[in-house]
């Protein structure tokens, strides 16, 4: 209860500061986030990051109006209606994809949602999250740098698989084979055995050992010593593998690959954005593993400033809210502070804490960096 009261004090101070800056020329921007309920910590982090963004801009023309969505669709629509009636046409939020339903009725408003999903969103919603298209663009660049042209893509049967499929198509990345796997640990290893031809390679080894044993080769003993140290024999037919997964599920897939005698020493391991998850340091057998992400140096700087100001570390999504404050202000400057249909349609590039991102035709595409996990470090590749 004390935490909730403390939080509402923070929100109240922020609101008072915003209203104190109000003038007839102010550009009002709605900030939609869950300040109460299950995701209140995310909401707190988002609003505090927005405050940092506003303080950085230091322009009284910009008026931020935070509203609590409670991560509920009905509550979200209610708050949007209230702000829309006040003339608000630009919104940062909602945070979650599930809260976008019904926003299309506010036709002349724009919602900069923090979701990374882009499929089936209302036409007036711009996804500002690190979407799959941005990530596969970076992976494609990594492929070309390392001359990888036989890539196996492993996609979990999860709710975001359509986003991955869309990203493959739009990025035009070269994939030799796409394999969908069940995330159930009881089924996973057998599926990985199948796609990596493990049993065939295992049988190849047994056959080769038997052949050498029955041969009259001069270096027969030496060959057998080498063969008996191996687990399989034969190539899997790929030079790289992309694991489109996260957290423990990602680690489970990597472990299954190692079990089937497929290691990053033989083929290149790639994953999607891991937000610099340091638990990956413990997975030494799965290293090096590479992934696209935002600029780590900037991210660390942001976390340090946030920690100093609020005595806690920010949620990853809050970095996006900070950048979106800057993006909106930049576009308004470019458009003489007029809000019209061209504001988010004209091609523009913006450099934020997360890195460079491009906005065109009401779509955001992040130009991501690339890192690899090796020897307890995140090493920048580009």
pLDDT digits (tens, 9 = 90+) for 272-289: 999 999 999 999 999 999
pLDDT at 76: 97
Residue 356, domain member (yes or no): no
Q: Are residues 187 and 264 in the same domain?
A: yes
Residues of the chain with confidence (pLDDT) below 70? 1-24
| Number of domains into which the chain is organized | 2
Residue 272, domain member (yes or no): yes
pLDDT at 379: 98
pLDDT digits (tens, 9 = 90+) for 217-268: 889 999 999 999 999 999 999 999 999 999 999 999 999 999 999 999 999 9
Q: Are residues 70 and 91 in the same domain?
A: yes
- Which pTM value belongs to this model? 0.89
Residue 359, domain member (yes or no): no
**CATH, residue 216:** 3.40.50.2300
Q: Are residues 119 and 176 in the same domain?
A: no
Q: Are residues 42 and 178 in the same domain?
A: no
Residue 106 and residue 89: Cα distance in Å, rounded? Answer: 9
pLDDT at 197: 96
Residue 357, domain member (yes or no): no
pLDDT at 17: 46
pLDDT at 362: 87
pLDDT at 2: 46
Q: Are residues 82 and 219 in the same domain?
A: no
pLDDT at 26: 85
For residue 229, what are the domain limits?
Answer: 132-294+371-380
Q: Are residues 168 and 204 in the same domain?
A: yes
pLDDT at 22: 44
Q: Are residues 22 and 143 in the same domain?
A: no
Residue 352, domain member (yes or no): no
Q: Are residues 253 and 303 in the same domain?
A: no
Q: Are residues 182 and 193 in the same domain?
A: yes
Q: Are residues 152 and 266 in the same domain?
A: yes
pLDDT at 19: 42
């Amino acid at each position: 209860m004390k935490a909730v009261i403390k939080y509402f004090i923070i929100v109240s101070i922020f609101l008072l500061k915003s209203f104190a800056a109000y003038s007839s020329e102010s550009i009002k921007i709605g900030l939609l986030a869950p300040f109460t309920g299950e995701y209140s910590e995310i909401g707190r982090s988002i609003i505090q990051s927005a405050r940092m963004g506003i303080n950085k801009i230091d322009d009284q023309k910009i008026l931020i109006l935070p509203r609590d969505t409670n991560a509920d669709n009905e509550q979200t629509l209610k708050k949007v209606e209230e702000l829309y009636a006040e003339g608000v046409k630009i919104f940062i939020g909602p945070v979650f994809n599930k809260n976008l339903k019904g926003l299309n009725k506010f036709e002349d408003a724009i919602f900069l949602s923090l979701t990374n999903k882009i499929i089936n969103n209302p036409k007036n919603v711009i996804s500002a999250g690190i979407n799959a298209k941005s990530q596969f663009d970076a992976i494609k660049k990594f492929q070309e740098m390392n001359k990888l042209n036989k890539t196996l893509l492993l996609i979990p049967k999860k709710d975001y698989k359509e986003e991955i499929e869309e990203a493959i198509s739009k990025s035009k990345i070269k994939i030799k084979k796409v394999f969908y796997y069940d995330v159930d640990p009881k089924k996973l290893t057998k599926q990985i055995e199948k796609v990596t031809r493990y049993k065939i390679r295992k049988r190849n080894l047994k056959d080769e050992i038997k052949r050498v044993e029955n041969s009259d080769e001069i270096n027969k003993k030496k060959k057998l010593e080498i063969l008996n140290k191996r687990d399989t024999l034969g190539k899997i037919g790929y030079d790289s593998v992309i694991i489109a997964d996260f957290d423990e599920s990602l680690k489970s897939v990597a472990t299954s690959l190692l079990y089937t005698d497929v290691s990053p020493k033989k083929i290149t391991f790639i994953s999607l954005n891991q937000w610099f998850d340091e638990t990956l340091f413990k997975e030494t057998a799965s290293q090096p593993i590479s992934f696209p992400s935002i600029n780590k140096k900037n991210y660390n700087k942001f976390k340090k400033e946030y920690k100093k100001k609020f005595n806690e570390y920010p949620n990853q999504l809050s970095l996006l809210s900070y950048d979106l404050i800057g993006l909106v202000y930049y576009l308004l400057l470019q458009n003489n502070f007029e809000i019209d249909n061209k504001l988010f349609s004209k091609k523009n590039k913006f450099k934020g804490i997360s890195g460079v991102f491009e906005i065109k035709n009401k779509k955001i595409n992040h130009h991501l960096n690339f890192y690899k996990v090796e020897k307890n470090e995140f090493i920048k590749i580009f």
